[in-house]
């Protein structure tokens, strides 16, 4: 399938256009959106717009009855960080015009998306899982990425880090999830926020994400597993 998977869906363009004239965002998105309604702002930069409208092939999803709760093994490389949901913040920095600091409340006001997909670990197991949360394609434009932005680095509270090509990050099935199998995301699976996507192997799917940094180039550090010899693109 190579046509636009969501041809009729209005992108949250209005929301990020409204946010365009804001300074650094540290207050609730809901309140901010309301306060900015009606203000004219600059359009999104051309390169992110091109990525957003580029056709992505969609991975087929599974029905709710296919979920395999017991098959998703906890795979934690170092330790399990316990993040306080009240003080938790997600930072979005790097090649962006509007660096953002978002609370969980802010994140919950953004459009919710659910995907039921297969999680595949390179170590030889897989599980069908439902993830609910925010698509990066709905989130990253709020920070107004610079036209040179090509990669997204994800930093986690356990020191784990991963880099993705921006196109894969903006895929319609790539989420920052706060829900697993229709329940709040458990701490062991990455609460309060983790990556989830059917187009990348499990090690790309950072748990306990606290910061996203957009970059024009790949740095010498590319990812926790990649820097130990695993493949960087890790596509499925």
Ligand X SMILES: Nc1nc2c(c(=O)[nH]1)N[C@H]1C(S)=C(S)[C@@H](COP(=O)(O)O)O[C@H]1N2
- Which residues of the shown chain bind ligand X in the complex (CB under 6 A)? 72-77, 121, 156, 158, 160, 189-190, 202-203, 205-208
Nearer to ligand X, 171 or 207 (CB): 207
Does 223 bind Mo ion (CB under 5 A)? Our answer is no
Cα distance between residue 199 and residue 57, in whole Å: 10
Least separation in angstroms between residue 122's CB and Mo ion is 5
Contact positions with Mo ion (CB under 5 A) in 80-139: 121
CA proximity to 103, closest of 46, 26, 36: 26
Token duo for residue 192: 């309060």
Least separation in angstroms between residue 129's CB and Mo ion is 13
Nearer to ligand X, 16 or 225 (CB): 225
Nearer to Mo ion, 27 or 122 (CB): 122
Contact positions with Mo ion (CB under 5 A) in 198-217: 202-203
Cα distance between residue 88 and residue 204, in whole Å: 22
Q: Which does 109 bind (CB under 5 to 8 A by kind): Mo ion, ligand X, none?
A: none
Least separation in angstroms between residue 236's CB and Mo ion is 12
Nearer to Mo ion, 125 or 182 (CB): 125
Q: Which does 95 bind (CB under 5 to 8 A by kind): ligand X, Mo ion, none?
A: none
CA proximity to 34, closest of 109, 113, 135: 109
In the bound complex, which residue of the shown chain has the CB atom lying closest to ligand X?
Answer: 202
Least separation in angstroms between residue 187's CB and ligand X is 10
* Cβ 194 vs Cβ 177: under 8 Å: yes
Cα distance between residue 179 and residue 133, in whole Å: 6
Least separation in angstroms between residue 28's CB and Mo ion is 35
Nearer to ligand X, 26 or 62 (CB): 62
Least separation in angstroms between residue 150's CB and ligand X is 22
Nearer to ligand X, 72 or 134 (CB): 72
Q: Which does 76 bind (CB under 5 to 8 A by kind): Mo ion, ligand X, none?
A: ligand X
Residues that bind Mo ion (CB under 5 A): 75, 121, 202-203
């Amino acid at each position: 399938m190579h046509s636009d998977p969501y041809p009729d869906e209005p992108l949250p363009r209005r929301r990020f256009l409204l946010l365009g004239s804001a300074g650094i965002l540290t207050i609730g998105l809901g309140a901010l959106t309301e306060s900015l309604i009606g203000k004219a702002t600059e359009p999104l930069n051309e390169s992110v717009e091109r990525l957003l409208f580029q056709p992505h092939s969609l991975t087929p999803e599974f029905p709710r009855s296919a979920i395999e709760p017991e098959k998703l093994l906890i795979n934690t490389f170092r330790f399990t960080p316990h993040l306080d949901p009240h003080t938790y913040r997600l930072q979005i920095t790097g090649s962006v015009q509007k660096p953002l600091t978002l609370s969980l409340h802010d994140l919950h006001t953004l459009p919710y998306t659910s995907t039921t997909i297969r999680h595949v670990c390179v170590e030889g197991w897989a599980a069908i899982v439902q993830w609910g949360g925010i698509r990066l394609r709905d989130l990253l434009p709020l920070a107004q990425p610079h036209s040179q932005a090509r990669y997204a680095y994800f930093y986690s509270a356990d020191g784990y880090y991963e880099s993705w090509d921006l196109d894969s990050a903006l895929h319609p099935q790539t989420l920052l999830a706060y829900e697993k199998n229709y329940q709040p995301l458990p701490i062991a699976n990455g609460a309060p926020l983790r990556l989830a996507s059917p187009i990348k192997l499990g090690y790309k799917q950072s748990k306990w994400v606290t910061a996203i940094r957009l970059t024009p180039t790949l740095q010498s550090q590319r990812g926790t597993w990649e820097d130990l010899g695993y493949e960087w693109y890790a596509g499925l």
